[in-house]
Amino acid sequence: MKAAAFAYARATSVMNALELLAAHGDRAKVLSGGQSLMPAMNLRLLSPDILVDVGGLAELRGIAVRGNLLVVGALTRHVDLLRSPEVALHASLLRDAVAHVAHPAIRNRGTIGGSLAHADPASELPACVVALGATIVVRGPAGERRIAATEFFKGIYETALSPDELLVAVEVPVAGRGATFFFQEYARRHGDYAVVGLAASAVVAAGRFSDLRLGFFAVGDRPLLAAAAGKLINASVTSALLAEAATALADELDPQEDQQASPAMRRHLATVLLRRCVAALLARSELEAGVTR
Amino acid sequence: MSVPVPVSLLVNGERIDAFVLPRLNLADFLRENLKLTGTHVGCEHGVCGACTVRVDGEIVRSCLMLAVQAEGASVETVEGLSDSGEIADLQAAFRERNALQCGYCTPGMLMTAQDLLKHLPAPDRQAIREHLSGNYCRCTGYQAIVDAVEATARMRAERRA
């Protein structure tokens, strides 16, 4: 199908974009890469009165290291994350994840800001920013505010952004000593939305986790930072302890039923990903085996 | 509320100035306004890949891009790549290997395959399949398409040697 009629405004600056959003409120939608918005409009799931196109705003582009933060502009495209030496060095989780996002032609236009603001619970980047302990930077009429990624996602396609605010950047703490990452997802085909996925960020020292953040996606209405990870931090990880963590994980998940999988299947796959993740990060392949519920 | 917006862009190297409604996507602009019907429209929500074109040298879904977003851009379609001879060998390989039946997906396949060969001159079959994974073909079962891309990569390597 084709999108319903709408008006179009090409923002000339962030300030101008904010004025347009203030004028039109929730009748406006922000257009960046359009790789989620355009399908929704073509399918008539969304019919905004006006699109505010921020695609030309150079001030929202670019990846830079400032102190111990990797600052990623909202208009940074998936393909930019894949190719960026800064991302590879400081937050390689983002690079690993983006390889699973759709297909090359989509990655050439889709942006990190668009993906986060869209907040699809099955998409990869929201789980990554939660796992990385990132901060979402938004600008509104009252100025700038910073929102912890863990506080940003509120539900299916729902975020802490208000209609008059624009997501401008993501700040990711740069990977320190012993930092290591894991990304895997189950999907029917490469590039499809995940059935269940895991983006994890950890600090490993002397064979133990001194930190472990497990960002599961497609298991609920928003990316979930699993509390079960706590069982594995500063502990000697045995098969028994991992089984305990897997049980705790299955209990804390409340996955939805859809055409792709039942809640029980999603719980099972999440525990399989947990085992793989822990085995890979600790380089102990024997932990991957074992009975899951 | 929705009024035509001016847009200027290059299409296959030719300067185009037009007034378009904001809702017009790039695929329909190319097909309906410019009569460049080589770019096909399949699913209209970014899944099938039949509408793949190049914008500023990179492949994109023209059904997920508004014509007005192409302001100042250089758009290349299968007609452009065909007329310039850039993909003549790839087209010949598709013909040779029967890598098409109905031909609906073929322009998108050619655009995507050429993009792969530009970035990765000697891809293995897995890399070819992965790069083409966003382009649906309902006739061939893909085997012949992968064959044709692989054969083209090999021929180009021989020519360079």
pLDDT in tens, chain A (293 residues): 899 999 999 999 999 999 999 999 999 999 999 999 999 999 999 999 999 999 999 999 999 999 999 999 999 999 999 999 999 999 999 999 999 999 999 999 999 999 999 999 999 999 999 999 999 999 999 999 999 999 999 999 999 999 999 999 999 999 999 999 999 999 988 888 899 999 999 999 999 999 999 999 999 999 999 999 999 999 999 999 999 999 999 999 999 999 999 999 999 999 999 999 999 999 999 998 764 44
**Does residue A181 contact residue A99 with C-beta atoms inside 8 Å?**
no
Interatomic CA distance for residues B9 and B18, integer angstroms: 9
Q: In terms of Cα–Cα distance, which of B63, B64, B153 is closest to A55?
A: B64
Interatomic CA distance for residues A217 and A194, integer angstroms: 8
Whole-prediction pTM: 0.95
Q: Is the Cβ pair A6, B130 closer than 8 Å? A: no
Q: Is the Cβ pair A31, B25 closer than 8 Å? A: no
Best of B32, B66, B78 to disrupt the A interface (most A CBs within 10 Å) is B66
Q: Reading across the β-sheet that carries A7-10, which strands appear in turn?
A: A7-10, A50-53, A28-31
Q: Is the Cβ pair A105, B60 closer than 8 Å? A: yes
| Distance (Å) of CA B157 to CA B127, B132, B152, B160 | 17, 20, 8, 5
Q: Structurally, what CATH architecture does the domain formed by A61-173 represent?
A: 2-Layer Sandwich (3.30)
Task: Considering chain A, tell me which residue range(s) the CATH 3.30.465.10 domain(s) occupy.
Answer: 61-173
Q: Is the Cβ pair A3, B134 closer than 8 Å? A: no
E strands within A141-239? 143-148, 153-155, 158-159, 166-173, 179-187, 194-205, 208-217, 224-225
Task: Considering chain A, tell me which residue range(s) the CATH 3.30.390.50 domain(s) occupy.
Answer: 181-288
pLDDT at A292: 45
Q: Is the Cβ pair B23, A189 closer than 8 Å? A: no
Q: In CATH, which of 3.40.50.40, 2.40.110.20, 3.30.470.20, 3.30.390.50 is domain A181-288?
A: 3.30.390.50
Task: Considering chain A, tell me which residue range(s) the CATH 3.30.43.10 domain(s) occupy.
Answer: 7-53
Question: Which residue in this structure is represented by tokens 């519920």?
Answer: A293
Helix (H, G, I), strand (E, B) or coil at A234: coil
Sign of CA dihedral B10, B16, B22, B27: negative
Domain A7-53 has CATH 3.40.50.300: no
Best of A27, A38, A107, A189 to disrupt the B interface (most B CBs within 10 Å) is A38
Q: Is A105 on the interface with B (CB under 8 A)?
A: yes
What is the complex's ipTM, to 2 decimals? 0.95
For residue range B108-150, list pLDDT tens digits in order. Answer: 999 999 999 999 999 999 999 999 999 999 999 999 999 999 9
For residue range A162-194, list pLDDT tens digits in order. Answer: 999 999 999 999 999 999 999 999 998 888 889
Q: Is A45 on the interface with B (CB under 8 A)?
A: no
| Residues of chain A neighbouring B113 (CB-CB closer than 8 A) | none
Q: Is A51 on the interface with B (CB under 8 A)?
A: yes
Buried b (16+ CB within 10 A) or exposed e, A90-118: bbebbbbbbebbbbbbbbbbbbbbbbbbb
Phi-psi region of B18 (alpha: psi -120 to 50; beta: other; left: phi over 0): beta
